[in-house]
Amino acid sequence: MNSTLIIVAVLVLATGYGFVDRKRAGKIKSKVDSRHSITAHEIGSDLGESATVLQFSSAFCTPCRATRSILSSVIAHYPKIKHVEVDAENNLALVRRLDIRQTPTTLFLNAAGKEIARAVGAPKRDQVINALERI
């Protein structure tokens, strides 16, 4: 097969995927199907009084740092909401149970520890504020 054609195909596919991925990243999706609640014991930290924002991170993840600073600066305005960051690699049982596939993944938990929304990838500041206002 013509190598120029292959190169063009790879670059077009990568560009298309890049735009789709950038658009999808960090979108906060509401979830109603939350059968199990997440306990303080599982995340090694107390849950927040009204809600908990649970961030899964890993060592090989540059956007995890940005996510941490966005979440902690937004949550600072909500004294009853707590930001908890856990290392995905050290919590594999929880990662499998919640089907976390990449980092950063952020779960929004209500006071009972049930997941009500999730963002895969780094969420944007105003999206986080929206999600917290809805809790």
Partner 1 sequence: MIDARGPRWSAGLTSIVLILALITRSPIFIIIQLVQFGIGAFAGPPNSPYAWLYKRFVQPRLSKTFDSEDVRPPQFAQFVGFIFALLATVGALSHTWLLFTIATSFALFAAFLNSAFGYCLGCKLYLLGVRFRRV
Interacting residues toward partner 1 by CB under 8 A: 1, 3-4, 6-7, 10-11, 13-15, 17-18, 21-22, 58-65, 88-89, 92, 95-96, 100-104, 121
Q: Of residues 25, 34, 50, 61, which has the active-site annotation? A: 61
Give catalytic status of residue 101 as yes or no: no
Let me know if 45 is exposed, middle or buried by CB neighbors in 10 A (0-12, 13-18, 19+): middle
Angstrom distance (rounded) from CA 62 to CA 53: 19
By beta-carbon proximity to partner 1, the closer residue of 113 and 121 is 121
By beta-carbon proximity to partner 1, the closer residue of 11 and 76 is 11
Question: Does residue 122 contact residue 25 with C-beta atoms inside 8 Å?
Answer: yes
Question: Does residue 127 contact residue 26 with C-beta atoms inside 8 Å?
Answer: yes
By beta-carbon proximity to partner 1, the closer residue of 81 and 94 is 94
Which sequence positions are flagged as catalytic? 61, 64
